[in-house]
Amino acid sequence: MEYHKYENVAYHLHTIKTDKFKTVTVKVNFKRKLEKKDITYRNLLADVLLESSSKYPSRREIEIKTEDLYNLFVKSNTYLSGNYMIMSFDCIFLNEAYTEAGMLKESLDFLMEFLFHPNVVQKRFEKSNFKIAKKALEEQLNSLEDNYGRYSMYRLLEEMDKSAPFSFRSIGYLEDLKEINETNLYAYYESVLSSDLVDIFVIGNIDPEKVQQLFLDHFPINTLKKPSMSHYLQPVKPRRIIKTTKEKKEINQSHLLIGCKIDLLSEFEKKYVMQVYNFILGGGTDSKLFHNVRELNSLCYSIHSTYQPTSNLLIIKAGIDASSYKKAVSLVKKELTNMEKGNFEETDIEKAKITYLSAFDELEDSPSSIISTYISHEYLGYDMLEERKKKIHEVTKDMIVSVAKKIHADTVYLLEGGEPDEANEDE
């Protein structure tokens, strides 16, 4: 693999040349400081841009073109990363060695078409396509509660601290959506082009210089950007007494979430010690939580923990029966305490390290995962792969116990299922 970073005036182009894949993957990231009211704009903007363009005035025509380009795949993703919000466009297509000469340029042109030639009439997004995209987002926001996993996660974070940026809903808000029209969204689009920080990642068996030239010729963003601030949020003080919130819902399975706040960690703790800690606690099917809550007590089917470095949070999630709620919470707390007391073995640490290393080897088989490691390097200051493989060995038991003491259970949220519903009216 051969990495090259082109620091063009208005954006950075990262190329990764490798002959491992039959595909070329391109990712264009737009990012700016997180503002709650902007989140909905960005979600809708990404959808509107992929709904139609000046050359392809409907989704249907776009789909036909993607098929013509040998099943090219394009999608967008809007997400939050600590102090920032990111709007990301991914485009994946076959290397022209497997299709026909000229397809690299044609595929990149197609992606640029969405970003720079939207379907616009006099500084307004074209009405009917705008309407379709807006309605789809409206339905998605309306039916958020149908997605119990996502909904309960948002609710937990809001209960932890409603004003903290980590609790903002990454899919946006219905009340903000109502305010958005063809004109103000277009104005927002123009501001994205002129003031967002832009990073482009291209991976595949490509000629980096040729790709750089294609972007110089066709990527018409040229405003100089200010240097960026850190992605990491400041840690928030944990509660002295754990807060508990329950919400009822007519579902069979209850969703239990426990949110923990983490004190300020060192760089090494964030990037290495926490990885090992989380793996041991709830990383997979061989974790403390999986063994003691699922296997020994048959309380749940799924249970795991995730670490969110930019928000300084650790979240534990389990699907349980409402009647087991108290027992499950106390078992989880017990496991957290066990970690603090160092009640785990050196072999647990070794397993975590081996898994960590193996995950890195595996990650090199996937273009999007490789891009992700460059993104965490660029945005979050993570070390590059080879460095990470070395440093993980430095993690010791004492270090894990020391981070465990900085993790504080703060909020318990239960989306509580009802009795098996007899009011289930079938027709």
Partner 1 sequence: MKQMKMSNLDLDLFYEKLDNGLEVYIIPKKNCNNTYVTYSTKYGSRDYEFVPLGNKKMKKVPLGVAHFLEHKMFEQEDGTDPFAFFSERGADANANTNYTKTTYLFSGTQFLEENLRYLLEYVEAPFFTDENVEKEKGIIEQEIMMYEDNPYNKAYEGLLYNIFIEDAIKYPIIGTVESVRSITKQDLYECYHTFYHPSNMFVVITGKVEPYEAIKVIKEVEGKRTLVEAKPVEKKKIKEPTEVEKGYEKKKMAVTIPKLSIGYKIPLASFKNVSRRKILHYLMMLFDIKLGPVSLFQEQLKKEGLMSTDFAFDYIDTEDYFVIMLIAETEEPEKVIDLINQELSNLELSETDLNRKRKTVISSFLFMSDNIYSLNEKAMSNVIKYGKVNCDDYEEIKELNISEYQKLIPNINLNNHSTYIIMPKKGK
* Cβ proximity to partner 1, 39 vs 299, nearer residue: 299
CB of 33 to partner 1, least distance (A): 31
Separation between Cα atoms, residue 350 and residue 276, nearest integer Å? 9
Separation between Cα atoms, residue 268 and residue 133, nearest integer Å? 43
Q: What letter would DSSP give residue 22?
A: S
Residues that bind partner 1 (CB under 8 A): 19-23, 58-60, 63-64, 67-68, 70-71, 94, 98-99, 128, 132, 135-136, 139, 142-143, 145-146, 148, 249-253, 284-286, 290, 294, 298-302, 319-321, 347, 350-351, 354-355, 357-359, 361-362, 364-366, 417, 424-427
CB of 202 to partner 1, least distance (A): 17
Question: Hey, what's the torsion of the CAs at 283, 289, 294, 300, to 10 degrees?
Answer: -80
CB of 96 to partner 1, least distance (A): 12
- CB of 201 within 8 A of CB of 229? no
CB of 283 to partner 1, least distance (A): 9
Question: Residue 375 in 3-state DSSP?
Answer: helix
Separation between Cα atoms, residue 49 and residue 222, nearest integer Å? 20
- CB of 318 within 8 A of CB of 253? no
CB of 321 to partner 1, least distance (A): 6
Separation between Cα atoms, residue 138 and residue 44, nearest integer Å? 10
* Cβ proximity to partner 1, 126 vs 161, nearer residue: 126
* Cβ proximity to partner 1, 253 vs 372, nearer residue: 253
CB of 381 to partner 1, least distance (A): 25
Strand residues in 213-269 grouped as ranges (E):
243-249, 254-262
* Cβ proximity to partner 1, 43 vs 312, nearer residue: 43
* Cβ proximity to partner 1, 8 vs 205, nearer residue: 205
* Cβ proximity to partner 1, 209 vs 286, nearer residue: 286
Q: Which residue has the tokens 């989140």?
A: 39
- 3-state SS, one letter per residue, for 163-203: CCHHHCCCCCCHHHHHHCCHHHHHHHHHHHHHHCEEEEEEE
